[in-house]
Amino acid sequence: MIDVDAVTQRAIDVLKRNDRGGYTIPTDGLYPYQWNWDSAISALGIAEFDLDRAWQEIETLMSGQWDNGMVPQILFHTEAEGYFPGADVWNCDGPVPSSGISQPPVAVTAARLIWEKDTSLGKSRMEALLPKLRCWTDWFMRWRLDDKGAVFTRHPWEAGRDNAPDWDKSAARIDTSGVQSYIREDTKHVNSDHRPTQKDYDLYVWLLQLGRDVNWDDGAIAENTPFKVADPLMTFITLRAVRDLHALCEAFGQNTDQLAEYITVLEAGVDSIWNPEIQAYDSRDVQTGEFAGSLSCGSYLCWYAGVDRKEMRGQLRNALSRTKYPVASYDIQGAVFDPHRYWRGPTWPCVNLLIGIGLADFGVPEEPKLRRRIRELVAENGFSEYFDPITGTPAGGKSFSWTAAAWLRWARFDTHSD
Ligand code: DGY
């Protein structure tokens, strides 16, 4: 029997302990700064017990927005020990020391969901945020859209799923031998078997160098980079963000014509990432057109983006029948499945929260079942970063903000029996 109140209190404690004053770090040690989509998901959890502080989380994130609209993946508000690559390595000059890439725009959707909790209290805060959120979306549509309308990533860290099998084929074509020497810090905090490999890191640092060498000029990077992968998670989260902006702008009496056009473009992009061979949404290398062949947690974000597809409903039923703790970051029957290594197999409650939001929007009957599995997983194994999808064994960092948020916003509610 789960003691929901006790777990809920522990989740609140995690978020409060990770609060650094206006922003929340993902976890102490491993990730000591403000991360973009981590913060957005944390804000959803914080909104369950402190609405004002939830707004502040998004506002602090947006304070790092660059003049060109980009909102960085990491904001280095203070100096901290134990993280590589720090602000000096990125060498960016935004309003807050930052990395030079972005992350999936969950913050737009989080802002809408927080505003919906109390629209009168949130009115002036949303009015101040809206132009910034629009500007970020414009940046995605200008710099991250492929010719078919899907959203691509130029760095695995930007996609949020650092070492997903989605990037393997594209990465294999890149010669990273000119990479600078560097010392990893992540494996000093957690088991290296749970983290990306050295080869993965070489690519991350090599792509960082490529951006830094041209002072993070989007046009110059676009011309030079060999890494452009259109990805379901990025495409679905961006489409959802644009739909939410459209709804917000309507509510605030603003013109929505351009947003409506964006939606049409992105909906076409969604069709372009359907891989009939695996009967799922899949990543596609923008330059070669080749699919990755990866059924990932990103594939299941279609509903979150307002896209229902019967084949994906079938995939969801399979995921629920094949393992105790779905949805795994990569298909547990996939060729390179690894139950512990970061985005190559473990189950991440944070992404399941987003999948759950989408399923609930469509009333998909499996949503309560998925929620219950994640509820058991977290209640029994704690607020780790990710978990073995078969045994539930915790992996990665401990006391993780977005896992606590997934509990508070979603997993703790038990509205069914299965
Ligand atoms: C890291 O440093 O491991 C992060 O995932 C980058 O966002």
Is the CB of 48 within 6 Å of ligand 1? no
Is the CB of 162 within 6 Å of ligand 1? yes
* pLDDT at residue 405 tops 70: yes
Q: How far is the CA of 157 from the centre of ligand 1 (A)?
A: 6
DSSP β-ladder status, 386-387 and 284-285: unpaired
Is the CB of 153 within 6 Å of ligand 1? no
- Nearest to 410, CA basis, from 362, 354, 361, 366: 354
Q: Tell me the CATH number at 202.
A: 1.50.10.10
Which two three-digit tokens encode residue 206? Answer: 């090599």
Amino acid sitting at position 204: Y
Which of 38, 48, 162, 282 is the catalytic position?
Answer: 162
**Percent of the chain with pLDDT strictly greater than 70:** 99
Q: Whose CA is nearest to atom 7 of ligand 1?
A: 157
Q: Is residue 416 part of a domain?
A: no
Residue 415's pLDDT band (cuts 50, 70, 90)? confident
Pocket test for ligand 1, best of 74, 157, 205, 233 (most atoms within 8 A of CB): 157
Q: Is residue 102 part of a domain?
A: yes
Is the CB of 157 within 6 Å of ligand 1? yes
- The number of distinct structural domains making up the chain is 1
- Residue 385: active-site member: yes
Q: Is residue 417 part of a domain?
A: no
HSE (side-chain half, CA atoms, 13 Å) at 35: 22
**358-392 b/e with 16+ CB inside 10 Å = b?**
bbbeeebebbbbbbbbbbbbbbebbbbbbbbbbeb
Q: How far is the CA of 162 from the centre of ligand 1 (A)?
A: 7
Q: How far is the CA of 30 from the centre of ligand 1 (A)?
A: 9
Is the CB of 200 within 6 Å of ligand 1? no
Residue 357's pLDDT band (cuts 50, 70, 90)? very high
Q: How far is the CA of 404 from the centre of ligand 1 (A)?
A: 19
Q: What value does the mean pLDDT take over residues 281-286?
A: 98
Is the CB of 386 within 6 Å of ligand 1? no
Report the C-alpha gap between 280 and 273 in whole angstroms.
8
Residue 37's pLDDT band (cuts 50, 70, 90)? very high
Q: How far is the CA of 41 from the centre of ligand 1 (A)?
A: 16
The average confidence (pLDDT) of the chain is 97
Strand partners, 394: 387
Q: Is 8 left (phi over 0), alpha (psi -120 to 50) or beta?
A: alpha
Q: What is the pLDDT of residue 211?
A: 98
Q: Is residue 315 part of a domain?
A: yes
Q: How far is the CA of 74 from the centre of ligand 1 (A)?
A: 9
Q: Whose CA is nearest to atom 6 of ligand 1?
A: 157
Is the CB of 201 within 6 Å of ligand 1? no
Pocket test for ligand 1, best of 102, 162, 195 (most atoms within 8 A of CB): 162
Cα dihedral 94/96/99/102 (nearest 10): -80
Contact 46, 54 (CB under 8 A): yes
**229-254 b/e with 16+ CB inside 10 Å = b?**
bbbbbbbbbbbbbbbbbbebbeeeee
Which of 19, 244, 367, 385 is the catalytic position?
Answer: 385
Is the CB of 186 within 6 Å of ligand 1? yes
Q: What is the pLDDT of residues 50-84, one digit of tens each?
A: 999 999 999 999 999 999 999 999 999 999 989 99
Question: What DSSP assignment string belongs to 92-109?
Answer: --SSS-B-SS----HHHH
Peptide bond just before 270 cis, omega within 30 deg: no
* pLDDT at residue 417 tops 80: no
Report the C-alpha gap between 100 and 74 in whole angstroms.
8
* pLDDT at residue 22 tops 50: yes
Residue 416's pLDDT band (cuts 50, 70, 90)? low
Q: What value does the mean pLDDT take over residues 97-126?
A: 97
Cα–Cα distances in angstroms (integers) from residue 151 to residues 31, 51, 130, 273, in the given order: 26, 31, 21, 10
N-to-C CA span, the chain: 15
Atom of ligand 1 nearest to the CA of 84: 2
Q: How far is the CA of 256 from the centre of ligand 1 (A)?
A: 35
Cα dihedral 146/195/350/61 (nearest 10): -70
- Nearest to 361, CA basis, from 253, 236, 260: 236
Atom of ligand 1 nearest to the CA of 73: 7
User: Which helix (DSSP H) or strand (DSSP E) does residue 314 occupy?
Assistant: helix 310-322
Owner of token pair 């935004």: 94
Report the C-alpha gap between 16 and 9 in whole angstroms.
10
Q: Is residue 34 part of a domain?
A: yes
Identify the domain containing residue 387 by its residue range: 4-411
Q: What is the pLDDT of residue 418?
A: 45
Q: What is the pLDDT of residues 300-327, one digit of tens each?
A: 999 999 999 999 999 999 999 999 999 9
Q: What is the pLDDT of residues 185-233, one digit of tens each?
A: 999 999 999 999 999 999 999 999 999 999 999 999 999 999 999 999 9
Amino acid sitting at position 402: W
Atom of ligand 1 nearest to the CA of 74: 7
Is the CB of 98 within 6 Å of ligand 1? no
Q: What is the pLDDT of residues 371-401, one digit of tens each?
A: 999 999 999 999 999 999 999 999 999 999 9
- Residue 380: active-site member: no
* pLDDT at residue 352 tops 90: yes
Which two three-digit tokens encode residue 87? Answer: 């602000």
Atom of ligand 1 nearest to the CA of 35: 7
Q: How far is the CA of 169 from the centre of ligand 1 (A)?
A: 21
